[in-house]
Amino acid sequence: MPGGKLLRLNFSFFFRSACIDSLENSKTPFALCPSAGSTPFSAARVYDVRMPIVRAATISKCFRIYRHPSDHLKELLSLGRRRYHEPFWAVKDVDLSIERGCCLGIVGENGSGKSTLLRMIAGVIRPTSGNVEVGGRVSALLELGAGFNPQFTGRENIYLYASILGFTDAQTRERIPSIEKFAEIGEFVDRPVKTYSSGMFVRLAFAVAIHMDPDILIVDEALSVGDIFFQQRCIRRIQQLKQQGVTILFVSHDLEAVRSLADRTIWMEHGRVRLEGKTDEVVSKYLAAMVTRGRKEIMEEEAVGKPLLGSPDLEMSDEALARIPKFLEHVPNVDHRYGNGKARVRGIGIYGKGGEPAPAVAQGDRVCVRISVEFQEHVEHPNVGFMLRNRLGEDVTGTNVMFEGERLPAAHSGERLSVDFVMDLPFLHAGFYYFSPAVADGTLDHYEMCDWIDNACAIEVIQRSITYGHIRIPMRVRATAITREEARHSI
């Protein structure tokens, strides 16, 4: 774009100046906007590691709620003699101290003040009262659209964001290839951000945030917008940043993600911190409170839980199997692939009990996982199987032909086969799960991996009944009353 660089620099100066003015008029030292002409923090970061990197002292935020649009004007014209608004305290008297390298999870219902708290820490809004101190560079993924100019292209926004943080154009150019590779939005990086889908925006925003050498990364439900494979990649990157000592503030309604990432967690309710402590303890008490309150939707789901029917005959009808392509030649996703290449997984698919494709199934439903393999060389003892993982990359279960007590004949170059795994889906926690198919040569104890594909196929599990933890075990409960006479005889 002609004059694009000049335009970018002008806007960079404007935004940086605005941030400096805001900092000079506030007692709160935010690290999001460095002073003009300063070098990036990565050039010389001198911090006292013994001090908390984020410290908030009795911070509160009050918003004015007007019943009618004209009430705001009436209040201004009254010169303070009459109040036309109702105060709403989104956050009230919150004290917070976060050590360097800690991952803090924040849970709570919608409207509990989570996002407002993060916006104050990030420097997007000022507290009404109290003080926030931040001792490092902040990269924040807040509400959709924050931080980017919709009229600029993705590339121009990268330069703008980086310049606000004190990076030179040369330093930014070094990071752009990595940002583009992680975001995977192709030619859209040179198109205006206003043309992006919400998923494309999150891809770019997250990629930029993690490549700006943050001391503090703030993630507020931003990952819920991206596609499921990108979400998992983001979770892995957050785990890597945590290992590198980056401080992370993570807000999510996905309690399993919070359990996996957070060292400590706070539970916010009505703008206040109701509980702070170890993540498992806080999340468990929060979940228990949600159930105790008897939310109607949860109770309805629990009431229609599927009863245990005994040991079913794990078969599918010939008609259903006939509807499935005999040999699959499509792998929906390849995160990572390895093996000696003697055999290749050519396709994987998940099908319902009628033979129809099943991208989403309910807990306990019968499904068929078909894996199609083509052999490139002679394989004496072929074995085909899969690993099922949750969205955090944790292994849930896995199996293979030999483990199930079956054997496949020796295979020669050019031969093809499809293997079906028919199962009643476990009562897993609702969400997305990923099948990683594999083919090996050998026994269960000694084998060579021919081909393994990480997260090749996704399936969404729809919740029929509330599930505590990773899996719900179907069972029958029976209580027997003990009479006083029986109790006396048992003593």
Domains, the chain, with CATH or none:
4-292 (3.40.50.300), 318-472 (2.70.50.60)
Residue-averaged pLDDT of the chain: 80
Which residues does residue 62 pair with via DSSP β-bridges, in sequence order?
Answer: 89
Quick: pLDDT tens for 169-208.
Answer: 899 999 999 999 988 888 999 999 889 888 888 888 888 8
Is a pLDDT exceeding 90 seen at residue 209? no
Q: What is the CA radius of gyration of the chain?
A: 28
Buried b (16+ CB within 10 A) or exposed e, 452-482: bbbbbbbbebebbbbbeeeebeeeeeeeeee
> DSSP readout, 48-87?
-TTS-SEEEEEEEEEEEEESSHHHHHHHHHTTTSS--EEE
Question: What pLDDT is attached to residue 372?
Answer: 96
Q: Which are the contacts of 43, defined by CB distance < 8 A and separation ≥ 6?
A: none
Q: Is-above-0.85 flag for pTM?
A: no
Q: Which two tokens stand for residue 386?
A: 């899969």
Question: What pLDDT is attached to residue 365?
Answer: 85
Residue 27 confidence class, pLDDT cut points 50, 70, 90? very low
Q: Which residue has the higher pLDDT, 95 or 221?
A: 95
- Burial grade of 252 (CB within 10 A; 0-12, 13-18, 19 or more): buried
SS3 assignment, position 108: coil
User: 482 phi and psi, to 5 degrees?
Assistant: -110, 120
Question: What pLDDT is attached to residue 43?
Answer: 34
Is a pLDDT exceeding 70 seen at residue 61? yes
Q: Which are the contacts of 45, defined by CB distance < 8 A and separation ≥ 6?
A: 136, 215
Q: Nearest Cα to 71, choosing from 81, 84, 82, 88?
A: 84
Residue 35 confidence class, pLDDT cut points 50, 70, 90? very low
Quick: pLDDT tens for 374-427.
Answer: 999 999 999 999 999 988 888 888 899 988 888 899 999 999 999 999 988 888
Is a pLDDT exceeding 50 seen at residue 338? yes
Quick: pLDDT tens for 308-322.
Answer: 333 345 677 778 888
Q: What is the Cα–Cα distance from 49 to 130, expressed in whole angstroms?
A: 24
Q: What is the Cα–Cα distance from 355 to 397, expressed in whole angstroms?
A: 23
Q: Which two tokens stand for residue 5?
A: 């660089």
Region of 421 (left: φ > 0; alpha: ψ -120 to 50; beta: rest) is beta
Q: What is the largest CA-CA distance in the chain?
A: 96
Quick: pLDDT tens for 145-166.
Answer: 556 888 999 999 999 888 887 8
Give me the sheet containing 103-107, strands edge to edge.
138-141, 216-220, 247-251, 103-107, 264-269, 272-278
Q: Nearest Cα to 198, choosing from 144, 139, 142?
A: 144
Q: Which residue has the higher pLDDT, 117 or 142?
A: 117
Q: Which of 22-26, 128-132, 391-395 has the lowest mean pLDDT?
A: 22-26
> DSSP readout, 309-348?
--S------HHHHHTS-SS----S--S-EES-SSEEEEEE
Residue 14 confidence class, pLDDT cut points 50, 70, 90? very low
Q: What is the Cα–Cα distance from 87 to 69, expressed in whole angstroms?
A: 16
The number of angstroms, rounded, from the C-alpha of 106 to the middle of its chain's C-alpha atoms is 13
Alpha carbons within 13 angstroms on the beta-carbon side of residue 259 total 16
Q: Which are the contacts of 300, defined by CB distance < 8 A and separation ≥ 6?
A: none
